[in-house]
Each structure stands twice: as C-alpha cells, then as structure tokens.
Amino acid sequence: MTTTLFFCAVMLAGVPIGICLCLSGLAFIFSTGDTVLLQSFPTQMFAGVDSYGLIAIPLFILIGEIMNSGGITRRLVDLSMAFVGSVKGGLAYVNILANMLVSSIIGSATAQVAIMAQVMVPEMEKQGYDKTFAAGLTVYGGMLGPIIPPSVMFVVYSVLAQVAVGDMLIAGILPGVLLTLLFFVIIAIMGLFYNYPRSARQTLRERATTVLQASPTLLIPIVIVGSILAGLANPTEAAAVGALAAALVGRYVTKEFDMRTLPAILLRSAIYSAIVLFLVAAAAVFSWLLIYGKIPQMVATWIQTVAHSPIAFLLLANVILLIIGTVIDGIPGLIMTVPILLPVATEVYHIDPRHFGVVIVINLVLGLMSPPVGLSFFVASAVTGAKPGKMFMVTLPFFLISCVGLLLLSLFPSLSIGLLK
C-alpha cells in the first residue's frame, strides 16, 4: 500500500512515468527491507530490453519520419480522394481511409494525428466542414495508428507478454478494418442529418493518374505487412526493409526526400526510441517486483469473486482499462496493466494472450480520445486551434461506436485472431 501511494504521489507530481516506475520499485525494496534485491535491479532493467523484437520499434519510428519528409502522406490522401472523394461527405470518408493507409506506416496515434491534422483539417475547412468536426474526426482516424500494423504498442505488448511480435501485428489487421467500417457507418448516418459537401467528381483519366502516381507509396505497407504474412521476414526484418522502401520511394518516386535531412531524422527517431525503450526497461523492473510481491495473485483472487466467466472478466477488464487509458498514455498504460491482468486472463480464464492484447491496446488507445486527459485531442488542438472539449462532444458518436467495436472484439475472439488460425 505504501508503494502504491508513493507511485501515485510521484506520478501526480508530474514525474515521467518511466522514472515513477523505477522510484516505486526502489520504494518497494526499501519498504520490505529486502535490500539484496537492489543487486538485481539493473539486471532486470537490462533484461527488459534484451529482446530482438524491440529493434523493430526504432525502425518503425524511422519509417514514419522518412515518410513525413518524403511527401508520401499527401499521395495517400490523393489516392483516397480518387476512390471516395466525390460521394456526399466524401472528404470525411477520405479522412478515415487515408488514416487507415497511413496507419500501415506510422503506427503511433499521436504522431498520426499531428501529421494528418495538418493535411486534412485545412482541406475539409475549404470545402465547408466545421473545423472542430474535422479535427475530431482526424483524432478518431488516428486511433487506427496503434492497431493496424506496424504498431509500436503491439511490439511493446509482445515483449511484455512474451508472444510473437508477428502474431500481434497480424492480430491488429481485422480490428483496424472493423473500426474503419464502423466509422464509415457513423459518417453515413451523420450525413443524413448534416449537409456534408461533395468534392468535385474526378474524371476517369484523373483518377487513373492519381492512382498511378500514388501506387508506389503502397509498396511500403505491402513490404512490411506482406513479408510478415507470407513468412518471408520477421517484424524486425520487415521494418528494416520498410525503412529502405520509404527512403527509396521518397527519394526517387515522390522526389521530396532530401538525404541532407537524414541526420535530423535519425536523431528524432533515436530520441523517441530511447524514451520508449526506457519505459520498457522500467516496466521490466516493475513487473518483476509485482510478481515478487504476489500482486497478480491478489488481483486474481479479487477478480474471481466478481467475474465468474471469461466474458465477465473481459467486460470488467474493459471498464478498468478504459478508465486507466483516460489518464495515462498508451505505452505506460500497457506497462502498468499487462503484468497484473495478463496472468489472470491466461491462467485463470484461459483467454488467448493475443486476443487479450488486442483488447488491452484498443482500450488504452480509446482512452487517448477520452476526458479528462484526451491526449490526442490536445495534439489536434495544438495543430488546428480547435477546442479539445468541443471536439469530443461533436465526435461523440465515434467514441460510442468505438466502444461497440471494442465490445464485439471482446465477445468474438475470431475478429482479432481469425487470421492467425
């Protein structure tokens, strides 16, 4: 209890979550008086990042940085416009569809929102959409980032849960498609009540030209996801080849990637990667001490008194995770919850760890769109100037349909791990 209070106190004081985890671990060791555990502290931190699969994280981040510099995002938006831009509310569909395509390259919700808000919101405003709605819609499109592969959150979960990274990335494909379709349904329904504008209809030649110009950019997700699905490469190898593909497409196809920017790109990628990997190292110590203190067993005992079936457990976990996600960012949320809830899910209720991983990640990502923190809304606000609170209210139907999608994924495991069978 003392350690828990200490952790809450330092977190509320604004101390970074990784340092909070390390300090809480030290507080636990000193509170038990078992100082011999200090000898294993650095060993456990190193063991936490001593995983080949984690190399994929800096590579995925590098892919996103190269893509941003290479003008690839703009072409993916143009490709979406060629298919759905001319229908009523077409630009709203384009926003979600382009986010889905970009998700297969970036893999981070907040990074995706920051990028796509700069591209989509001004364009939607020009065509008569409300800026607040456009920004909020982009936020929910960004939700697809950590779900559709590549996904940094799925890589981190894979290491924490000791499951194959490739399995988790594949498990995100169907949930990503499902959420995209559900968002399309909400846009169609809202279109019945709001007079959404149509974009200018493109001629067959214009569409063919757009598709021809944008098609090479699809090589990047095809290389990443296709090589994993075909068994030609593991996620780390696929990420390395994807980074090379992004550089080649940006340099020789879009011709917007300047090699002189590469040092700055590598530096930004290294900084963000270091932050994520330090969190993983801190999580290893936190998990080790939780197990030493028999916390998972205590939680399992309590949950079994409340949830008497796997479905009841998943519903309870959804509520707990959604609440946690509203106040804590995605990766720190994973670090705090996986060591406690995963053993209960797999050992007590015999839930597939890959299915449970999808449920955890979507819950925590949805928390990025929920008050009181709603980090993605603040990112969109910083880019567009729209008010975060108004964004949430205007796009509330998307939050509700996301909850419906989460419920479906919880009740029907085949919607997440169907491609793995």
State residue 202 phi and psi, 5-degree precision: -85, 145
pLDDT at residue 11 in the model: 67
d(CA 182, CA 169): 21
d(CA 69, CA 158): 29
Torsion region of 113: left, alpha or beta (phi above 0 gives left; psi -120 to 50 gives alpha): alpha
Amino acid identity for residue 186 in this structure: I
What are 307's two structure tokens?
A: 């949830």
Distances from the Cα of 343 to the Cα of 53, 79, 245, 334, angstroms: 21, 44, 39, 14
What are 400's two structure tokens?
A: 């509700």
pLDDT at residue 405 in the model: 92
d(CA 311, CA 313): 5
Task: Sort 161 into a burial class: Cβ within 10 Å, 0-12 / 13-18 / 19+.
Answer: buried
pLDDT at residue 151 in the model: 78
Number of neighbours of residue 14 by Cβ within 10 angstroms: 7
pLDDT at residue 233 in the model: 79
Task: Sort 180 into a burial class: Cβ within 10 Å, 0-12 / 13-18 / 19+.
Answer: buried
pLDDT at residue 401 in the model: 93
pLDDT at residue 3 in the model: 64
pLDDT at residue 409 in the model: 92
pLDDT at residue 129 in the model: 83
Cβ–Cβ < 8 Å for 223, 238: yes
The DSSP call for residue 362 is H
The pTM score is 0.77
Mean pLDDT by 10 residues, the chain (421 residues): 68 72 79 75 79 75 77 75 70 83 68 76 82 88 81 83 85 90 90 74 75 78 77 80 85 83 85 78 75 72 83 89 75 80 88 92 84 72 82 88 92 87 68
What is the residue-wise DSSP string for 267-308? HHHHHHHHHHHHHHHHHHHHHHHHHHTTHHHHHHHHHHHH--
Query: 66-77: b or e for each residue (b if 16 or more CB lie within 10 Å)?
Result: bbbbbbbbebbb
Number of neighbours of residue 128 by Cβ within 10 angstroms: 10
Name, in order, each residue with C-beta under 8 angstroms of 293's C-beta and a sequence gap of 6 or more.
Answer: 28, 32
Distances from the Cα of 23 to the Cα of 7, 38, 42, 316, angstroms: 8, 12, 13, 29
